[in-house]
Structure 1
Amino acid sequence: MSEAEAPKQEHQDTSAAEPVTPTPAASTPRGNGLALCALLLGAVGIAVGGWGLWQVRSLEARDQQQLGLVEETRGQAQALAQREQQLSKRLEALPSAAELDERRRLLVDLQGDQQQIRQRLETILGASRKDWRLAEAEHLLRLATLRLSALQDIHSATALVQAADDILREQNDPGAYAAREQMAKSLLALRSTPQPDRTGLFLQLGALREQAARLNPLVPAFEDKGGVLMDIAAEGDGRSRWSEWLETLSHYFRIQLDASQDIKPLLSGQNLSRVRLALSLALEQAQWGALHGQTQVYQQALRQAGEVLKGHFNDENPDSRALLARIDELATQPVEVKVPDLAPTLAALQAYLLRAPGAAGEAEEPASAEPAQEAGQ
């Protein structure tokens, strides 16, 4: 035990021997101050430690950011190096100044050749456009001739000849006077020629065929004006059994000694179907004749249809009488016209084509108009 601790031990022994007397608590504020100081020192230490830790973390984050910037800069440097290599390769692949001059000279020569070709083509087209238009006019006249000879189509032929005349008018050539004169005559002849309504006749005959398919015979009814039936019916009460039988049989049997007209047999079953078929075929043949402009076929077919109606149907039948009247009316309608001849016009145009400059090799011989004339006949 040290010397300093000896008095304390002695003091403790004396204090233990002496009786304890209560003294006021004079050392309590001093103990509280020490505890408060310890707490403050602990808080300051914790704050200093936290601040130090935060500084360390900040430094680490800054180091990471700088490392990222370094890596990015390194990547950009590598990309720049690759781009520089590519540019260097492209620069090596570029032609030299001599090659560029040679290519520029070839391009100028090519442009000059193209310009010369374009000028030649424009010259050729400008010179041959007239010949093409004249050849088109000849083709239109040939087509008009065929339309007249094959179909007797006045409207189409008029439009085609008018188109050919417009082409000659566009040429503004005095040498085309004779050809245009013939075209004017042909146009006047075409416009003065009537055009039959063949389509309308075809449709009307079709409607008559439908009506003929529904045509039924008229059932005859016997009227005895003061004859035998009246005398027999007068015997008895006026409504005897004999009179009823005679009235019933009068619908099936008819005996008339002084008949003023022929009595046609009553059609039924297969006979009626055959008559209807014959009438329909005759009207169908008339349709064909009307559509193709065959007057003889058209009139003969309508005449045959009228004979079928007169021979098998009663004149008192209103349906057959109306059908017969309509057939007689359609038989007078024209289906064929005398078309004008376009051969002189075609020959005049071909003669002009032979005289036209540059068109002698393309135009055909005037003798070629003979087949067109034969086709028109």
Structure 2
Amino acid sequence: MIILAIALAFIAWQGWQRLESQQQRLDEVAQQAEGSASQQAVSDLESRIDSGEAERDEALQSTLDDLRDEFDSYRSDVDETLGQVLDQLSQEQDTDEREWLHAEAAYLLRLANQRLQLEGDVDGAAALLRTADARLVDADNPALTPVREAIANELAALDAVPQIDRTGLYLALNAQQERISTLRLSQEIEEQAVTSSIEQPPTGTFQRQLARFGEELKDLVVVRHHDEALEALITPEQESYLRQSLRLVLEQTQLALLNEEKALYDASLDKALQLLNDYYDTTREETQSVIARLEELKEAEVKPELPDISASQQELARFIDNRYETRGQSGGDS
């Protein structure tokens, strides 16, 4: 439209120039006619002017028709090119949206693996896998079927992992600590005391008294050799020390439970059971009950075996790599 307006303005300007030129000629001819009194010359000049104006109008109309045809052709080409550009932009926008979905799903799968391996969070890993699968559903690409199949298998494996009630186990160990504080030590240890066989004061000479004291001293002092260090000498006076040691062992068991350290958990319970069997009265029913409960807690699963959920992450990474390679080959061919 702008080009057409410019062309019309240009043609009108030329017409106006021609009109002014013809008008000047007319004025000159009129002056000549008045001077020579030749009416015939004026008539011939007017006839030629009329003929020139008709030719000019015809040429102007032809030029306008040509400009309209060219403008219509140009507008058709522009509309076609604009349609192609819009289609291409739409396709690129759809591609970008899918790429975002693929990248988000890959990030969620990687996060699920980290959550399971580093924190042992089975529920958190399963939630991340389900979110990643929802992103792949939005991508709506049949080529992602192997990835979704791997996610389904991994979700089934996570559902099969046994649930561990760590809070319940912790409270159960705490309850046994309270019960142990009320248990009695064995009767033999409670009555242990150092006695002397000297019943009468020594008599006789100083040498006889010293010799007799030496013999009695050998009966009193017993020397034992041990290959390993003794845990602790347990006497009635050391009862509080024994109870505190056993309490610390059970607290160590609780710490191993929270840290999911199965080896330390079992070793701590074995140590607690050994102390109970060695230094507490196992003939009493309450002591046997505590020992049975600790042995039951030892069988509890502290850290279950976790499945491998990296297959879906690998499948999606392979899909993304193949997609980029295919796009690069298409770009090179074009």
> TM-score scaled by structure 2?
0.52
What RMSD over aligned residues (CA atoms) do the two structures have, in Å?
Answer: 3.2
**Greater share of helix residues, 1 or 2?**
2
Select 1:193's aligned residue among 140, 161, 165: 161
- 2:101–2:138 CA contact under 8 A, matched in 1: no
Secondary structure of the 2:281 match is coil
Residue among 251, 254, 263 paired with 1:287: 254
**Structure 1 residues 108-119: aligned runs within 5 Å:** none
Please tell me whether residue 133 in structure 1 is matched to residue 101 in structure 2. yes
Kindly tell me the number of residue pairs found equivalent between the two proteins.
197
Are the equivalent residues in 1 in contact too, given 2:234–2:242 (CA < 8 A)?
A: no
Identity %: 31
Partner of 1:162: 130
Q: Relative to structure 1, is the Cα distance of residues 358 and 314 closer, same or farther in structure 2, using a 3 angstrom cutoff?
A: same
Which one of the candidate residues 269, 272, 284 is aligned to 2:239?
272
Paired amino acid for 2:169:
L
1:145 aligns with 2:113: yes
Deviations 1:126-148 (CA, angstroms, capped at 9, x unpaired): 65443333222222212221222
2:170 aligned counterpart, secondary structure: helix
Distance 1:339-1:311 versus aligned 2 partners, 3 A rule: same
List per-residue Cα deviations over 1:28-60 (Å, max 9, x = no partner).
xxxxxxxxxxxxxxxxxxxxxxxxxxxxxxxxx
Partner residue in 1 for 2:282:
315
State the Cα distance separating 1:356 from its structure 2 match.
4.1
Select which of 348, 352, 357 maps to 2:315.
348
1:220-299 residue pairs with structure 2 within 5 A? 268-269=236-237, 271-299=238-266
Amino acid at match of 1:180: R
Q: How far is the alpha carbon of 1:312 from its aligned partner?
A: 0.8
C-alpha distance 212-132 of structure 1, shift in aligned 2 (>3 A): farther
Distance in 1 separating the partners of 2:165 and 2:326: 41
Distance in 2, Cα, partners of 1:358 & 1:204 = 58
Conserved? CA contact 2:112–2:126, under 8 Å: yes
Aligned 8 A contact 2:186 2:279 in 1: no
* Deviation of the 1:314 alpha carbon: 0.7
Q: Give the AA of the match of 2:149.
A: E
CA 1:320/1:349 → structure 2, altered by over 3 Å: closer, same or farther?
same
Greater displacement, 326-335 / 286-295: 286-295
The alignment's TM-score, normalised by the length of structure 1, stands at: 0.46
Structure 2 residue runs of 5 or longer lacking an equivalent are 1-88, 189-232, 329-334
CA contact (8 A) 1:151 1:292 kept: no
Q: Closer, same or farther in 2 for the Cα pair 1:202/1:124, shift >3 Å?
A: farther
* Structure 1 residue 357, shift from structure 2 partner: 6.2
Structure 1's unaligned 5+ residue stretches are 1-120, 221-264, 362-377
For the pair shown, the structure with the greater C-alpha radius of gyration is 1
Instruction: Verify the 8 A CA contact 1:294 1:335 in the aligned structure 2.
Output: yes
Partner residue of 2:300 out of 328, 333, 339 = 333
Alpha-carbon displacement from aligned partner over 1:291-315 (angstroms, at most 9, x marks no partner): 2222221111111100011111011
